[in-house]
Amino acid sequence: MTRIPRRLLLAALGTTPALPSILPRAARAQPAWPSRPIRLIVPFAAGTTTDILGRILAEALAREAGQPVVVDNRAGAGGNVGAQAVARAPADGYTLILGTNGTHGINASLFTDPGFDAIRDFTPIAPFVTTPTVLGVPSSLGVSSVAELVALAKQRPLTLASAGNGTTGHLSQALLNLRAGLTTQHAPYRNAGQAVTDLVAGRVDAMFYHPLGLKPHLDAGTLRALAVTSAARVSILPGVPTIVEAGIPDFVVEGLWNLYGPAGLPAEVVSRLNRATNALLADPAALANLRAQGVEPTGGSPEKLAEMTSREISKWREVIAAANIRPD
């Protein structure tokens, strides 16, 4: 057996790649998604409708992913703070947002610079749920239809409350003014609960708000629902007409909640998250729970959500400009 001098052996080892240095290179391939918890940013505070819906969706996504989906409330600037965080996050499937038609529609025109582009900076994943606003009035106001409210508004100034400038309630009022040729006064509140309290007490004349926030008072008879602003009647208030049925044409306003990720999200991640969202909406028990929250399922493809987002941006640009609406 020929012996290799130690000097030559060491030289060879110093210039030849060793096997252990090759194996880690192969092992550096990214692990299959998801290999760690996912963060779902909710761009509004805990306890809001968006937060409640986000937690329902997070449970469904976690079942599909096999990893925890953690709700991260990032409130501020009408949802812009949370949306900015997602727009700047890596497109790796570990940061998502439950966007609204505020963050992905209204804010594009309401703010000079919301800090993101709702089209360019996001990947549409799945439409989720929608809810109309309800036009509610105190029973003491003495009107029982939209036509009667419009007639009263032409006799004396009416004050309509909202949960703040640029909210769907405020924009519903602005659209009512445009479509019915009215001039009503806007009373923005920072606390929607206080706005409803003042509505029940008759300190304001009317309010457009989500069904769930008004329903206890509608059931008690202290408020009356004149119309809903959806394209069709809703299951939570089946006897209440749409505002179009009530005589105001071209009037559809709905709160939207949809799932997005950062721009450039991998197609396989989008597909799995879309499938999980649509599976949730097809489950009878989950659907009953969502409807109890006053929302209706949307569902559909990423392409459908992309179209919805573009449509919302265009729609509210016209209304905000015509009504000269500005953020708080």
Token pair for 57:
């969706």
Q: For position 328, what pLDDT does the model report? A: 61
- Residue 322 makes CB contacts below 8 A (sequence gap 6+) with 174, 178
Scan for tokens 């779902």, then name that residue. Answer: 40
Residue 139 DSSP class:
G
Q: Give pLDDT, residue 201.
A: 97
- The gap from C-alpha 144 to its chain's centroid, in whole angstroms, comes to 31
CATH domain 38-132+254-323 topology: D-Maltodextrin-Binding Protein; domain 2 (3.40.190)
pLDDT of residue 23: 44
pLDDT of residue 22: 46
Architecture of domain 134-228: 3-Layer(aba) Sandwich (3.40)
Residue 310, φ and ψ in degrees, nearest 5: -60, -40
Taking the domains of the chain in order of start, what are their residue ranges?
38-132+254-323, 134-228
- Cα–Cα distance for residue pair 162/172, rounded to 1 Å: 9
Per-residue pLDDT at 6 = 54
Contact indicator for 310, 93 with CB cutoff of 8 Å: no
| pLDDT, one tens digit for every residue, the chain (328 residues) | 445 555 544 444 444 444 444 445 444 556 799 999 999 999 988 887 889 999 999 999 999 999 999 999 998 888 999 999 999 999 999 999 999 999 999 999 999 999 999 999 999 999 999 999 999 999 999 999 999 999 999 999 999 999 888 888 999 999 999 999 999 999 998 878 899 999 999 999 999 998 988 999 999 999 999 999 999 999 889 999 999 999 999 999 999 999 999 999 999 999 999 999 999 999 999 999 898 888 999 999 999 999 999 999 998 998 898 888 887 6
Give every CB contact of residue 67 below 8 A, 6+ residues apart in sequence. 34, 35, 36, 37, 38
Do 38-132+254-323 and 134-228 agree at the fold level? yes
pLDDT of residue 48: 79
**CA-based nearest residue to 264, from 34, 84, 90:** 90
